[in-house]
Structure 1
Amino acid sequence: MGLPAAASAQAYQCKVPARISVPQAKQDGPVRQVPVTGYTMALSWSPEFCRTRQRSGTHATQCSGRNGRFGFIVHGLWPDGRSTWPQYCPTARRPQPATVAKNLCMMPSASLAARQWAKHGSCMTRRPDTYFNVTRILWNSYRWPDFDRISREEGLTAGRIREAFASANPGWEPSMVGVKLNRRGWLQELRLCYGKRFRPKVCPSRTFGPKDGVKAKIWRGM
Protein backbone atom coordinates (compact mmCIF):
# COMPACT_ATOMS: atom_id res chain seq x y z
CA MET A 1 0.00 0.00 0.00
CA GLY A 2 1.53 3.30 -1.05
CA LEU A 3 1.35 6.43 1.06
CA PRO A 4 1.81 10.11 0.16
CA ALA A 5 5.16 11.58 1.10
CA ALA A 6 3.67 13.78 3.83
CA ALA A 7 2.15 10.77 5.59
CA SER A 8 5.51 9.02 5.89
CA ALA A 9 7.65 12.12 6.40
CA GLN A 10 8.94 10.93 9.79
CA ALA A 11 9.48 7.33 8.75
CA TYR A 12 12.89 6.32 7.50
CA GLN A 13 10.95 3.68 5.58
CA CYS A 14 7.34 2.57 5.88
CA LYS A 15 5.53 -0.41 4.41
CA VAL A 16 1.95 -1.03 5.47
CA PRO A 17 1.06 -4.71 5.99
CA ALA A 18 -1.43 -6.18 3.52
CA ARG A 19 -3.75 -7.27 6.34
CA ILE A 20 -4.52 -5.41 9.54
CA SER A 21 -6.72 -6.50 12.43
CA VAL A 22 -7.72 -4.06 15.13
CA PRO A 23 -7.96 -5.56 18.62
CA GLN A 24 -10.41 -4.56 21.29
CA ALA A 25 -8.76 -2.07 23.63
CA LYS A 26 -8.79 -3.05 27.29
CA GLN A 27 -9.86 -0.36 29.73
CA ASP A 28 -7.15 0.17 32.35
CA GLY A 29 -8.65 3.02 34.32
CA PRO A 30 -11.91 4.72 35.31
CA VAL A 31 -14.23 6.71 33.08
CA ARG A 32 -13.56 10.45 33.54
CA GLN A 33 -15.83 12.88 31.75
CA VAL A 34 -14.45 16.33 32.54
CA PRO A 35 -14.32 19.52 30.43
CA VAL A 36 -11.46 19.68 27.90
CA THR A 37 -9.11 22.63 28.49
CA GLY A 38 -6.49 21.85 25.83
CA TYR A 39 -4.54 19.03 24.20
CA THR A 40 -1.18 17.30 24.29
CA MET A 41 0.39 15.66 21.26
CA ALA A 42 2.71 12.93 22.52
CA LEU A 43 5.40 11.97 20.02
CA SER A 44 7.42 8.88 20.85
CA TRP A 45 11.06 8.58 19.70
CA SER A 46 10.85 5.17 18.05
CA PRO A 47 14.56 4.17 18.13
CA GLU A 48 14.51 4.36 21.93
CA PHE A 49 11.14 2.61 22.23
CA CYS A 50 12.29 -0.22 19.95
CA ARG A 51 15.69 -0.56 21.56
CA THR A 52 14.59 -3.62 23.56
CA ARG A 53 11.52 -4.59 21.50
CA GLN A 54 12.95 -5.65 18.15
CA ARG A 55 11.75 -9.23 18.65
CA SER A 56 8.43 -8.35 20.25
CA GLY A 57 5.43 -9.73 18.39
CA THR A 58 3.22 -7.05 19.91
CA HIS A 59 5.38 -4.27 18.46
CA ALA A 60 6.46 -6.02 15.26
CA THR A 61 5.17 -3.37 12.83
CA GLN A 62 7.11 -0.62 14.57
CA CYS A 63 10.17 -2.45 15.82
CA SER A 64 10.97 -5.57 13.77
CA GLY A 65 12.32 -3.65 10.79
CA ARG A 66 10.17 -5.63 8.35
CA ASN A 67 7.80 -2.70 7.82
CA GLY A 68 10.42 0.04 7.96
CA ARG A 69 12.24 2.09 10.54
CA PHE A 70 10.75 5.11 12.21
CA GLY A 71 11.87 8.33 13.87
CA PHE A 72 9.14 10.10 15.83
CA ILE A 73 5.72 8.47 15.77
CA VAL A 74 2.44 9.56 17.32
CA HIS A 75 1.91 8.02 20.74
CA GLY A 76 -1.39 9.85 21.00
CA LEU A 77 -3.34 13.09 20.91
CA TRP A 78 -4.61 13.58 24.44
CA PRO A 79 -7.34 15.92 25.73
CA ASP A 80 -6.40 17.74 28.94
CA GLY A 81 -8.51 18.91 31.88
CA ARG A 82 -7.91 21.43 34.66
CA SER A 83 -6.50 19.11 37.32
CA THR A 84 -6.82 15.75 35.57
CA TRP A 85 -7.71 14.53 32.09
CA PRO A 86 -10.80 12.99 30.48
CA GLN A 87 -10.56 9.34 29.51
CA TYR A 88 -12.59 6.34 28.44
CA CYS A 89 -15.71 8.27 27.55
CA PRO A 90 -18.53 5.81 26.71
CA THR A 91 -18.60 4.72 23.05
CA ALA A 92 -19.36 1.56 21.11
CA ARG A 93 -17.34 2.67 18.11
CA ARG A 94 -13.93 1.26 17.19
CA PRO A 95 -11.44 2.28 14.49
CA GLN A 96 -11.77 0.22 11.34
CA PRO A 97 -8.79 -1.53 9.67
CA ALA A 98 -8.88 0.93 6.76
CA THR A 99 -8.55 3.86 9.17
CA VAL A 100 -5.64 2.24 11.00
CA ALA A 101 -3.90 1.40 7.69
CA LYS A 102 -4.24 4.99 6.52
CA ASN A 103 -2.40 6.19 9.61
CA LEU A 104 0.07 3.37 10.18
CA CYS A 105 3.16 5.35 9.16
CA MET A 106 2.17 7.95 11.76
CA MET A 107 1.07 5.47 14.45
CA PRO A 108 2.59 2.07 13.55
CA SER A 109 0.54 -0.17 15.80
CA ALA A 110 -3.08 -1.27 15.46
CA SER A 111 -3.30 -1.97 19.19
CA LEU A 112 -1.95 1.50 19.98
CA ALA A 113 -4.49 3.08 17.64
CA ALA A 114 -7.32 1.15 19.28
CA ARG A 115 -6.15 2.16 22.75
CA GLN A 116 -5.68 5.83 21.90
CA TRP A 117 -9.17 6.08 20.46
CA ALA A 118 -10.78 4.27 23.40
CA LYS A 119 -8.92 6.15 26.11
CA HIS A 120 -8.50 9.63 24.61
CA GLY A 121 -10.24 10.08 21.27
CA SER A 122 -13.61 9.02 22.68
CA CYS A 123 -13.54 12.14 24.87
CA MET A 124 -12.81 14.44 21.91
CA THR A 125 -15.20 13.39 19.15
CA ARG A 126 -17.88 10.85 18.30
CA ARG A 127 -16.10 9.17 15.39
CA PRO A 128 -12.71 7.44 15.29
CA ASP A 129 -12.09 8.78 11.77
CA THR A 130 -12.42 12.35 13.04
CA TYR A 131 -9.96 11.73 15.86
CA PHE A 132 -7.35 10.30 13.52
CA ASN A 133 -7.95 12.96 10.87
CA VAL A 134 -7.30 15.74 13.40
CA THR A 135 -4.23 13.92 14.66
CA ARG A 136 -2.90 13.51 11.11
CA ILE A 137 -3.49 17.19 10.23
CA LEU A 138 -1.37 18.22 13.21
CA TRP A 139 1.24 15.56 12.43
CA ASN A 140 1.59 16.71 8.84
CA SER A 141 2.14 20.30 9.98
CA TYR A 142 5.41 19.51 11.78
CA ARG A 143 8.86 20.13 10.35
CA TRP A 144 11.56 17.85 11.64
CA PRO A 145 15.06 18.92 12.66
CA ASP A 146 17.87 16.48 11.96
CA PHE A 147 17.77 14.65 15.27
CA ASP A 148 20.36 12.19 14.05
CA ARG A 149 22.83 15.07 13.80
CA ILE A 150 21.62 16.67 17.02
CA SER A 151 22.14 13.38 18.86
CA ARG A 152 25.87 13.67 18.16
CA GLU A 153 26.25 17.12 19.70
CA GLU A 154 28.39 17.38 22.81
CA GLY A 155 26.64 18.63 25.92
CA LEU A 156 23.16 17.86 24.61
CA THR A 157 20.39 19.05 26.94
CA ALA A 158 16.61 18.93 27.19
CA GLY A 159 16.59 22.63 26.33
CA ARG A 160 18.53 22.02 23.12
CA ILE A 161 15.97 19.41 22.06
CA ARG A 162 13.14 21.89 22.70
CA GLU A 163 14.96 24.68 20.88
CA ALA A 164 15.61 22.46 17.85
CA PHE A 165 11.94 21.61 17.40
CA ALA A 166 10.76 25.18 18.03
CA SER A 167 13.28 26.66 15.59
CA ALA A 168 12.08 24.35 12.83
CA ASN A 169 8.38 25.10 13.43
CA PRO A 170 7.11 28.69 13.17
CA GLY A 171 4.67 29.57 15.93
CA TRP A 172 6.32 27.28 18.46
CA GLU A 173 8.50 28.37 21.37
CA PRO A 174 10.68 26.08 23.51
CA SER A 175 8.31 26.66 26.44
CA MET A 176 5.57 24.93 24.41
CA VAL A 177 7.58 21.74 23.90
CA GLY A 178 7.62 19.15 26.66
CA VAL A 179 10.44 16.63 26.83
CA LYS A 180 10.25 13.23 28.48
CA LEU A 181 13.52 11.47 29.29
CA ASN A 182 13.70 7.96 30.68
CA ARG A 183 15.52 7.14 33.90
CA ARG A 184 18.80 6.75 32.03
CA GLY A 185 18.51 10.19 30.44
CA TRP A 186 17.58 9.06 26.92
CA LEU A 187 14.92 10.94 24.94
CA GLN A 188 11.62 9.07 25.14
CA GLU A 189 9.02 11.56 23.92
CA LEU A 190 8.23 15.10 22.87
CA ARG A 191 4.95 16.45 24.24
CA LEU A 192 3.56 19.39 22.31
CA CYS A 193 1.08 21.59 24.17
CA TYR A 194 -2.07 23.06 22.60
CA GLY A 195 -4.95 25.20 23.77
CA LYS A 196 -8.61 24.40 23.10
CA ARG A 197 -8.38 25.84 19.56
CA PHE A 198 -5.27 23.83 18.76
CA ARG A 199 -2.96 26.80 19.03
CA PRO A 200 0.44 26.10 20.62
CA LYS A 201 0.59 27.15 24.27
CA VAL A 202 3.08 27.11 27.14
CA CYS A 203 3.24 23.66 28.69
CA PRO A 204 2.26 23.15 32.33
CA SER A 205 5.10 21.94 34.53
CA ARG A 206 3.84 18.33 34.61
CA THR A 207 4.08 18.20 30.80
CA PHE A 208 7.18 20.37 30.33
CA GLY A 209 9.42 17.79 31.93
CA PRO A 210 13.07 18.30 32.94
CA LYS A 211 14.54 21.79 33.04
CA ASP A 212 16.41 23.07 30.02
CA GLY A 213 19.85 22.48 31.52
CA VAL A 214 19.31 18.78 32.22
CA LYS A 215 21.63 16.58 30.17
CA ALA A 216 19.96 14.39 27.55
CA LYS A 217 20.90 11.64 25.11
CA ILE A 218 19.22 10.48 21.89
CA TRP A 219 19.52 6.85 20.84
CA ARG A 220 19.86 6.64 17.06
CA GLY A 221 19.27 2.93 16.77
CA MET A 222 20.62 2.78 13.24
Structure 2
Amino acid sequence: MFDFRLQSFSRLVISLTLVSLTLAAGLTSLAGGAKAQDKRQNAPGEFDYYVLSLSWSPSFCEEVAERGRSGGRSNIQCEGRPYSFVVHGLWPQYESGFPEYCQRPSPRLSRNIVSSMLDLMPAPGLIFNEWDKHGTCSGLDGRNYFETIRKARAAIKIPAEYLDLSETKTVAPGDVEEAFIKANPGLSNGAVSVTCNRTRLSEVRICLSKDLQFRACEELERRSCRRDQVTMPPIRGG
Protein backbone atom coordinates (compact mmCIF):
# COMPACT_ATOMS: atom_id res chain seq x y z
CA MET A 1 0.00 0.00 0.00
CA PHE A 2 2.84 2.34 0.88
CA ASP A 3 4.57 1.61 -2.46
CA PHE A 4 1.32 2.31 -4.34
CA ARG A 5 0.86 5.66 -2.62
CA LEU A 6 4.50 6.57 -3.28
CA GLN A 7 4.12 5.75 -6.95
CA SER A 8 0.92 7.81 -7.16
CA PHE A 9 2.63 10.75 -5.46
CA SER A 10 5.57 10.49 -7.87
CA ARG A 11 3.23 10.52 -10.85
CA LEU A 12 1.50 13.61 -9.47
CA VAL A 13 4.83 15.42 -9.01
CA ILE A 14 5.88 14.54 -12.56
CA SER A 15 2.53 15.74 -13.98
CA LEU A 16 2.73 19.04 -12.10
CA THR A 17 6.31 19.52 -13.29
CA LEU A 18 5.30 18.97 -16.92
CA VAL A 19 2.44 21.45 -16.58
CA SER A 20 4.81 24.02 -15.10
CA LEU A 21 7.32 23.54 -17.90
CA THR A 22 4.58 23.89 -20.53
CA LEU A 23 3.31 27.11 -18.96
CA ALA A 24 6.84 28.47 -18.72
CA ALA A 25 7.49 27.68 -22.39
CA GLY A 26 4.26 29.42 -23.36
CA LEU A 27 5.15 32.53 -21.40
CA THR A 28 8.63 32.55 -22.92
CA SER A 29 7.12 32.31 -26.40
CA LEU A 30 4.77 35.18 -25.70
CA ALA A 31 7.58 37.27 -24.31
CA GLY A 32 9.68 36.53 -27.39
CA GLY A 33 6.83 37.56 -29.68
CA ALA A 34 6.32 40.79 -27.78
CA LYS A 35 10.03 41.52 -27.92
CA ALA A 36 10.07 40.98 -31.71
CA GLN A 37 7.38 43.61 -32.15
CA ASP A 38 8.69 47.17 -32.13
CA LYS A 39 7.39 49.11 -29.14
CA ARG A 40 6.41 51.95 -31.50
CA GLN A 41 4.24 49.59 -33.51
CA ASN A 42 2.10 51.52 -35.99
CA ALA A 43 2.66 54.95 -34.43
CA PRO A 44 2.64 57.43 -37.37
CA GLY A 45 6.03 59.02 -37.95
CA GLU A 46 7.83 56.69 -35.52
CA PHE A 47 10.17 54.62 -37.68
CA ASP A 48 13.87 54.32 -38.52
CA TYR A 49 14.25 54.52 -42.30
CA TYR A 50 12.54 54.11 -45.67
CA VAL A 51 12.73 51.42 -48.32
CA LEU A 52 12.16 52.69 -51.86
CA SER A 53 10.82 49.79 -53.93
CA LEU A 54 11.25 49.97 -57.72
CA SER A 55 9.23 47.35 -59.60
CA TRP A 56 10.35 46.02 -62.98
CA SER A 57 7.08 46.65 -64.81
CA PRO A 58 7.55 44.06 -67.62
CA SER A 59 7.84 41.28 -64.99
CA PHE A 60 4.67 42.46 -63.30
CA CYS A 61 2.80 42.57 -66.60
CA GLU A 62 3.88 39.07 -67.61
CA GLU A 63 2.72 37.79 -64.24
CA VAL A 64 -0.63 39.54 -64.72
CA ALA A 65 -1.00 37.92 -68.15
CA GLU A 66 -0.18 34.46 -66.79
CA ARG A 67 -2.75 34.77 -64.03
CA GLY A 68 -5.34 36.10 -66.44
CA ARG A 69 -5.98 39.06 -64.20
CA SER A 70 -7.54 42.28 -65.37
CA GLY A 71 -8.48 45.51 -63.68
CA GLY A 72 -7.37 49.05 -63.09
CA ARG A 73 -3.72 48.52 -62.30
CA SER A 74 -3.00 46.00 -65.06
CA ASN A 75 -4.93 47.94 -67.71
CA ILE A 76 -3.05 51.17 -67.08
CA GLN A 77 0.39 49.78 -66.42
CA CYS A 78 0.44 46.97 -68.95
CA GLU A 79 -1.54 48.30 -71.88
CA GLY A 80 -0.33 51.86 -72.04
CA ARG A 81 3.11 53.37 -72.49
CA PRO A 82 6.22 51.16 -72.20
CA TYR A 83 7.21 51.31 -68.52
CA SER A 84 10.53 50.04 -67.17
CA PHE A 85 11.15 50.55 -63.44
CA VAL A 86 8.15 52.10 -61.71
CA VAL A 87 7.73 53.02 -58.07
CA HIS A 88 6.00 50.34 -56.07
CA GLY A 89 6.24 52.30 -52.85
CA LEU A 90 8.21 54.14 -50.18
CA TRP A 91 7.91 52.10 -47.01
CA PRO A 92 8.66 53.23 -43.44
CA GLN A 93 10.69 50.55 -41.65
CA TYR A 94 11.91 49.66 -38.17
CA GLU A 95 15.36 48.18 -37.72
CA SER A 96 13.40 44.95 -37.33
CA GLY A 97 9.98 44.77 -38.95
CA PHE A 98 7.79 47.57 -40.23
CA PRO A 99 4.59 49.47 -39.42
CA GLU A 100 1.48 49.32 -41.58
CA TYR A 101 -2.03 50.78 -41.72
CA CYS A 102 -1.19 53.36 -39.05
CA GLN A 103 -4.47 55.28 -39.42
CA ARG A 104 -7.84 53.61 -39.81
CA PRO A 105 -9.65 54.95 -41.68
CA SER A 106 -6.82 56.64 -43.55
CA PRO A 107 -7.13 60.32 -44.47
CA ARG A 108 -8.62 60.68 -47.91
CA LEU A 109 -6.37 61.42 -50.90
CA SER A 110 -7.40 64.13 -53.34
CA ARG A 111 -7.74 63.34 -57.04
CA ASN A 112 -5.05 65.92 -57.78
CA ILE A 113 -2.50 64.02 -55.72
CA VAL A 114 -3.37 60.73 -57.41
CA SER A 115 -3.19 62.25 -60.89
CA SER A 116 0.15 63.89 -60.13
CA MET A 117 1.76 60.52 -59.31
CA LEU A 118 0.67 58.47 -62.32
CA ASP A 119 3.96 59.08 -64.14
CA LEU A 120 5.84 57.23 -61.37
CA MET A 121 3.14 54.90 -60.01
CA PRO A 122 0.99 54.08 -63.04
CA ALA A 123 -2.23 52.94 -61.38
CA PRO A 124 -4.64 54.76 -59.05
CA GLY A 125 -5.29 51.55 -57.12
CA LEU A 126 -1.59 51.20 -56.35
CA ILE A 127 -1.39 54.80 -55.15
CA PHE A 128 -4.38 54.45 -52.82
CA ASN A 129 -3.07 51.13 -51.44
CA GLU A 130 0.40 52.50 -50.78
CA TRP A 131 -1.06 55.50 -48.96
CA ASP A 132 -3.34 53.35 -46.79
CA LYS A 133 -0.71 50.76 -45.89
CA HIS A 134 2.55 52.72 -45.81
CA GLY A 135 1.95 56.44 -46.27
CA THR A 136 -0.16 56.71 -43.13
CA CYS A 137 2.86 55.47 -41.15
CA SER A 138 5.16 58.23 -42.43
CA GLY A 139 3.75 60.96 -40.20
CA LEU A 140 3.24 63.09 -43.32
CA ASP A 141 0.04 64.24 -44.92
CA GLY A 142 -0.84 62.89 -48.36
CA ARG A 143 0.71 65.69 -50.38
CA ASN A 144 4.00 65.68 -48.48
CA TYR A 145 4.24 61.89 -48.50
CA PHE A 146 3.93 61.67 -52.27
CA GLU A 147 6.28 64.61 -52.71
CA THR A 148 8.77 62.61 -50.64
CA ILE A 149 8.27 59.63 -52.97
CA ARG A 150 9.04 61.88 -55.94
CA LYS A 151 12.19 63.21 -54.26
CA ALA A 152 13.32 59.70 -53.36
CA ARG A 153 12.82 58.47 -56.92
CA ALA A 154 14.64 61.52 -58.31
CA ALA A 155 17.62 60.66 -56.13
CA ILE A 156 18.03 57.26 -57.83
CA LYS A 157 19.64 56.91 -61.24
CA ILE A 158 18.54 53.85 -63.20
CA PRO A 159 21.52 52.12 -64.88
CA ALA A 160 21.61 52.85 -68.61
CA GLU A 161 21.33 49.17 -69.60
CA TYR A 162 17.82 48.97 -68.12
CA LEU A 163 16.36 52.12 -69.61
CA ASP A 164 15.42 50.71 -73.01
CA LEU A 165 15.57 46.93 -72.74
CA SER A 166 14.35 45.58 -76.07
CA GLU A 167 15.05 41.85 -75.52
CA THR A 168 14.74 39.47 -72.59
CA LYS A 169 17.85 39.71 -70.46
CA THR A 170 19.20 37.01 -68.14
CA VAL A 171 20.92 38.54 -65.13
CA ALA A 172 22.47 37.59 -61.81
CA PRO A 173 20.78 39.51 -58.97
CA GLY A 174 24.20 40.56 -57.68
CA ASP A 175 25.06 42.08 -61.06
CA VAL A 176 21.89 44.18 -60.98
CA GLU A 177 22.80 45.42 -57.52
CA GLU A 178 26.30 46.28 -58.72
CA ALA A 179 24.90 48.18 -61.70
CA PHE A 180 22.81 50.34 -59.36
CA ILE A 181 25.80 50.88 -57.06
CA LYS A 182 27.94 51.97 -60.00
CA ALA A 183 25.25 54.38 -61.24
CA ASN A 184 24.61 55.88 -57.80
CA PRO A 185 27.68 57.15 -55.92
CA GLY A 186 27.36 56.53 -52.20
CA LEU A 187 25.08 53.51 -52.61
CA SER A 188 26.56 50.37 -50.99
CA ASN A 189 25.82 46.64 -51.09
CA GLY A 190 24.19 46.90 -47.69
CA ALA A 191 21.65 49.41 -48.95
CA VAL A 192 20.34 47.74 -52.12
CA SER A 193 18.68 44.40 -52.77
CA VAL A 194 16.96 42.58 -55.63
CA THR A 195 13.81 40.49 -55.20
CA CYS A 196 12.49 37.92 -57.63
CA ASN A 197 9.64 35.53 -58.22
CA ARG A 198 10.08 32.01 -59.54
CA THR A 199 12.00 33.04 -62.67
CA ARG A 200 11.93 36.82 -63.07
CA LEU A 201 13.44 39.86 -61.43
CA SER A 202 10.66 41.59 -59.51
CA GLU A 203 12.04 44.64 -57.73
CA VAL A 204 15.09 46.62 -56.74
CA ARG A 205 14.82 47.92 -53.17
CA ILE A 206 16.97 50.70 -51.76
CA CYS A 207 17.25 51.81 -48.13
CA LEU A 208 17.12 55.53 -47.42
CA SER A 209 17.30 57.55 -44.23
CA LYS A 210 14.43 59.84 -43.31
CA ASP A 211 16.25 62.64 -45.12
CA LEU A 212 16.61 60.35 -48.17
CA GLN A 213 20.31 59.54 -47.89
CA PHE A 214 21.55 56.03 -48.69
CA ARG A 215 21.94 53.88 -45.59
CA ALA A 216 22.61 50.22 -44.88
CA CYS A 217 19.85 47.97 -43.51
CA GLU A 218 20.13 44.32 -42.49
CA GLU A 219 16.44 43.56 -43.05
CA LEU A 220 16.78 44.13 -46.80
CA GLU A 221 19.26 41.31 -47.29
CA ARG A 222 17.00 38.80 -45.54
CA ARG A 223 14.31 39.30 -48.17
CA SER A 224 16.59 39.31 -51.23
CA CYS A 225 16.50 36.96 -54.22
CA ARG A 226 18.46 33.72 -53.68
CA ARG A 227 18.51 32.57 -57.30
CA ASP A 228 21.72 32.54 -59.31
CA GLN A 229 20.02 34.00 -62.36
CA VAL A 230 16.67 35.54 -63.25
CA THR A 231 15.21 37.06 -66.38
CA MET A 232 14.16 40.61 -67.12
CA PRO A 233 11.42 40.64 -69.77
CA PRO A 234 11.78 43.43 -72.35
CA ILE A 235 9.99 46.72 -72.05
CA ARG A 236 6.62 46.53 -73.78
CA GLY A 237 6.95 48.02 -77.24
CA GLY A 238 10.72 48.09 -76.86
Same fold by TM (over 0.5)?
yes
Q: 1:196 and 1:115, CA in 2 relative to 1: closer, same or farther beyond 3 A?
A: same
5+ unaligned residues in a row in structure 1: which ranges? 1-30
State the Cα distance separating 1:124 from its structure 2 match: 0.7
TM-score by length of 2: 0.70
Native 8 Å contact 1:51 1:221 kept in 2 = no
Q: Is the 8 A contact 2:166 2:235 kept in 1?
A: no
- Relative distance call for 1:43 and 1:107 in structure 2 (3 A) is same
- 1:114-129 to structure 2, matched below 5 A, reads 114-129=128-143
The residue aligned with 2:31 is: none
* Alpha-carbon separation, structure 2, partners of 1:205 and 1:123: 18
Q: 2:55 and 2:208 mapped to 1: Cα distance?
A: 17
Q: Which amino acid aligns with 1:82?
A: E
Under a length normalisation based on structure 1, what TM-score does the superposition of the two structures give?
A: 0.75
2:96 aligns with one of 76, 83, 95? 83
Q: Which residue of 2 aligns with 1:14?
A: none
Report what 2:32 is aligned to.
Answer: none
- Once the two structures are superposed, what CA deviation does each residue of 1:172-221 show, in whole Å capped at 9, x if it has no partner? 1233111001122x11001101233322112324446136x822221114
Give the aligned partner of residue 47 of structure 2.
Answer: 36
AA in 1 matched with 2:71: G
1:61 lines up with 2:76 in the alignment: yes
Asked if 1:48 is matched to 2:59, the reply is yes
Q: Report the Cα distance in structure 2 between the residues aligned to 1:64 and 1:57, rounded to whole angstroms.
A: 11
User: Which shifted more, 84-93 or 202-211?
Assistant: 202-211
Quick one: distance in 2 between partners of 1:109 and 1:150? 23
1:87–1:123 contact (8 Å) kept in structure 2: yes
SS of the equivalent of 2:126 reads helix
Partners in 1 of 2:63 and 2:196 — Cα distance? Answer: 16
The unaligned stretches of length 5 or more in structure 2 are 1-40
Cα RMSD, aligned residues only: 2.4
- Secondary structure of the 2:99 match is coil
Q: Deviations over 1:81-134 (max 9, x none)?
A: 132211111254122111111110100111111111111111112411111000
Q: Within 5 A, what are the aligned runs for 1:48-197?
A: 48-53=59-64, 56-59=70-73, 60-65=75-80, 68-90=81-103, 92-145=106-159, 146-147=161-162, 148=164, 156-184=171-199, 186-197=200-211
The count of corresponding residues between Structure 1 and Structure 2 is 187
Distance 2:166 2:78 in 1: 22
Residues 210, 77 of structure 1: CA spacing in aligned structure 2 closer, same or farther, 3 A cutoff? same
Q: Specify the structure having the higher radius of gyration (Cα).
A: 2
Q: Give 1:141 shift.
A: 2.1
Deviations 1:40-98 (Å, cap 9, x if unpaired)? Answer: 01111000101143672232111122xx1211111110000132211111254122111
Q: Which runs of 4+ in 1 moved over 2 A?
A: 31-35, 52-55, 148-154, 195-198, 205-208
Closer, same or farther in 2 for the Cα pair 1:152/1:112, shift >3 Å? Answer: closer
User: Does the 8 Å CA contact 2:96/2:219 hold for their aligned counterparts?
Assistant: no
